[in-house]
Amino acid sequence: MNKRFLSVWRVIGGQRPASVVLAVVFILFSLWRWKVILMSCVSLLLVLLVFVGGGTNISQCLRPGLFEYWLAAFVWMLMAFLFGKRYAKILLGSGNNMSGGSGCSEPANEEGARFGHPAVLVLLSYVFVAMMAPLLAPHDPTAQGDLRTTRLLKPLESRVTIGKTPLIEKDGPEMTSAFVPRMLEHVNGYLLQLKNPYAHHDAPMPGALNEHDRRVEVFFLGTDDLGRDVFSRVIYGLRISVLIGTLSVACSILIASLVGFVAGIQGGWIDHVLMRITDLFIAVPSLFLVISLVAFFGNSTTLLVLVLGTTGWMGVARIIRGEVAILNEREFISASRLLGRSSLQIVRDHMIPNLMPAIVVAMVLQLGNVILAEAALSFLGLGIQPPTPSLGNMIGESLPYLRSAWWVGIFPGIILSALVVQANLVGERLQNTGRNRA
């Protein structure tokens, strides 16, 4: 018994520290927020059931506020599965596999090494944290406390508050028919209720002194100017940054690929014209375009994604065009052409696989740039509009409180820097791996 325990321990210790830490954190967080996680998973499963069973009132269940819980639940289950798979294998098989124990942690193939690298793990964990935001954030990011008592609290400061009965009535009449829909209603109601703000007051309210409503709220990273929890806002801000980042990068890559491939393959004057257009876009200061577009179309997330997408594709397009031009000269491409393949097929079958590494690297590096650009725009007031939290606009809003309430600005700044650094580290790592292989 003892020996088995020790061997398990040694095996686990042989793992890369990053993944162990992550696993431990994951378990702790799951235990802390078990109720929300359980409810979200149940909600997701029940909705799927209802959907499949073609049951009652599917539209009733599809509230916009619930989608993020379902996504978060899905991601949680995925993570639990991944961790479980890895550690279950170890725990179950560890008694016999001492020598193979350390081997388990370092799979021979390069794929595993790549994914096992701390930088990639950390980046992936950022993404997962971002997607699990509703589960992880203890408070709603836009919930303001009583302005007179909850503004600008220091980190780890707590407030004893007495909950006032929420003004909103319970959601709809109870459906008495089937168990599943009723359960679903209940669960959905609980989840949506989490998003409803309470009005808390320090002083006891006459007539509402329900002792169960008394709660101690701890704000891990303090509160901001409007009494909102900084920790929750940072997590949601991370989510927005990751979301906008990936969408913009996808947009950029699309445009860049189009331009790059066409220019590279066709050559001649089309190539020339496209490259001049690319230079034009590089020369025009993006701020002009952003201000004009924002004044025209108003501020919205779609616009932001478009703007960031259209101002970041140039570098990648140049790289793609260069590589395609080089590849075009290679014999196997000429051979394909002789065989009668069309350009489209050549691109699809030969060029893209060869360029994939370069494109992926460019994507990851561009992610860092786009996140920075979005932060700068939000800082200047042109990006994501408050009260939706974004790392950039949180820093911008914290300027007046730099001296007095430093935590409002420092934490988003640290997370932002860390995110961008991770993205760049991963990008560089991929680049090196690619280069070593080639």
Partner 1 sequence: MIAFIQRRIFSASLLLGGMLTLIFFAAHLTPGDPVNVFLSPNVPQNVANELRHQFGLDQNIVLQFGQWVRNALTGNLGISFAYRRPVLEVIAAVLPNTAVLAITAIVFELVLGLFFAAVAVRRHNSIVDTMIRNAALVVSTQPTFWVGLLLLAMFSFAFGLLPSSQMHSLGAESFSFGANLFDVGKHLVLPACTIAIPGSGAICLYFRQSLLKVRREEYMTYAHSVGLSNWALFVYYELPNALPPVISILGLEIGTLLSGAIVTETLFAWPGMGRLTVLALSARDYPLIMGCTLVSGVFVVVANMIADLLYGTVDPRVRMT
Partner 2 sequence: MKIEVLRRMALYFSLAILVASCSRQDGGQTALPGRSVVVGIEGDVDSFNPLFAQDVTAGEINDLFFPGLMCARFDQKTGSLEYSPSLAKSWEFENGNKDVRFHLRTDVSWSDGVPVTAKDVRLTYELYGDTTVASVRQPSVGELRRSSSGSIDIGQAVEVLNDSTLFFHFDHPYPGQLFDAGLPILPAHVFEKFPRSSLRESSMTRHLPASGSFYLKTWKPLEEIVLGSNSASRLPRPAKLPQLVFRVIPDYHSRLAQLRTGEIDVLPYINAEDAMEIMKSVSEIMIVPMGERFYDAINWNNIDPSEYASSQGKHILPHPLFGSSNVRRALTLAINRKEIVESYLHSYGRECVGPISPIFQWAFNDTLTPHPFDPEGAMKLLAMEGWSDTDNDGILDKAGREFAFTLMVPAGNQLRSTIAAVVQHQLRTIKIDMKIEQVERSVFWDKVIQKKFDACIAGFSIPLQIQMDELWGGDLERSLMNIPSFRNKRVDEILHGAKRILRNSDYAGTWKEFQVILHKEQPCTFLYWLNDLVAVNKRVKGAHVGLLGVTHRAEEWYVADAAASASNGAR
Residue numbers at the binding site for partner 2 (CB under 8 A): 60, 63, 142-144, 146-148, 151, 166-168, 171-172, 192, 196-197, 199, 225-226, 291, 294-295, 298-299, 381, 385-387, 397, 399-400, 402, 404
Which parts of 292-311 interact with partner 1 (CB under 8 A)?
292, 295-296
Q: How far is the CB of 9 from partner 2 (least distance, A)?
A: 50
Among 368, 389, 407, 411, binds partner 1 (CB under 8 A): 368
Among 88, 113, 254, 284, binds partner 1 (CB under 8 A): 284
Q: How many distinct helices (H) and strands (E) make up the chain? A: 20, 3
Residues 391 and 238 sit within 8 Å (Cβ to Cβ): yes
Number of residues that bind partner 1 (CB under 8 A): 33
Pick from 167, 157, 178, 222: nearest CA to 60: 178
Q: How far is the CB of 297 from partner 1 (least distance, A)?
A: 10
Q: Is 180 in the site for partner 1 (CB under 8 A)?
A: no
What residues have CB less than 8 Å from 305, skipping those under 6 apart?
244, 247, 248, 251
Q: Is 380 in the site for partner 1 (CB under 8 A)?
A: yes
| CA pair distance 195, 221, nearest whole angstrom | 20
Among 28, 48, 352, 402, binds partner 1 (CB under 8 A): 402
Closer Cβ to partner 1, 174 or 279, answer by number: 279
CA distances from 132 to 47, 52, 62, 143, 269 (A): 19, 25, 19, 18, 49
Residue 245 contact partner, candidates partner 2, partner 1, none, CB within 5 to 8 A by sort of partner: none
Closer Cβ to partner 2, 240 or 262, answer by number: 240
Q: How far is the CB of 123 from partner 1 (least distance, A)?
A: 13
Closer Cβ to partner 2, 142 or 354, answer by number: 142
401 DSSP 8-state letter = G
Residue 416 contact partner, candidates partner 2, partner 1, none, CB within 5 to 8 A by sort of partner: partner 1
Question: Quick one: which segment of 22-30, 54-62, 217-225, 409-417 binds partner 1 (CB under 8 A)?
Answer: 409-417
Closer Cβ to partner 1, 179 or 296, answer by number: 296
222 DSSP 8-state letter = -
Among 49, 270, 287, 352, binds partner 1 (CB under 8 A): 287
Cβ neighbours around 13 below 10 Å, total:
12
Closer Cβ to partner 1, 154 or 276, answer by number: 276
Edge-to-edge strand ranges of the sheet holding 200-201:
200-201, 157-163, 214-219
Q: Is 326 in the site for partner 1 (CB under 8 A)?
A: no
Q: Is 417 in the site for partner 1 (CB under 8 A)?
A: yes
Q: How far is the CB of 143 from partner 2 (least distance, A)?
A: 8
CA distances from 77 to 48, 63, 73 (A): 15, 21, 6
Q: Is 424 in the site for partner 1 (CB under 8 A)?
A: yes
* Joined tokens for residue 207: 């007539």
Q: How far is the CB of 109 from partner 2 (least distance, A)?
A: 46
Among 263, 409, 411, 430, binds partner 1 (CB under 8 A): 409
Pick from 307, 308, 355, 296: nearest CA to 328: 355
| CA pair distance 134, 37, nearest whole angstrom | 9
Pick from 411, 407, 372, 408: nearest CA to 392: 372
Question: Quick one: which segment of 62-70, 124-132, 345-353, 376-384 binds partner 1 (CB under 8 A)?
Answer: 376-384
Cβ neighbours around 287 below 10 Å, total:
13
Question: Quick one: which segment of 11-19, 48-56, 254-262, 272-280 binds partner 1 (CB under 8 A)?
Answer: 272-280
| CA pair distance 419, 370, nearest whole angstrom | 12
| CA pair distance 186, 46, nearest whole angstrom | 11
Q: How far is the CB of 192 from partner 2 (least distance, A)?
A: 7
Residue where the block lists tokens 């700068």: 376
Q: How far is the CB of 291 from partner 1 (least distance, A)?
A: 5
Closer Cβ to partner 2, 145 or 245, answer by number: 145
Residues 301 and 384 sit within 8 Å (Cβ to Cβ): yes
Residues 171 and 165 sit within 8 Å (Cβ to Cβ): no
Closer Cβ to partner 1, 171 or 225, answer by number: 225
Q: How far is the CB of 402 from partner 1 (least distance, A)?
A: 6
Burial 316-353 (b: 16+ CB within 10 A, else e): bbbbbbebbeebbeeeebeebeeeebeeeebbeebbee
Residues at the interface with partner 1 (CB under 8 A)? 276, 279-280, 283-285, 287-289, 291-292, 295-296, 368, 372, 375-376, 379-380, 395, 399, 402-403, 406, 409, 413, 416-417, 420-421, 424-425, 428
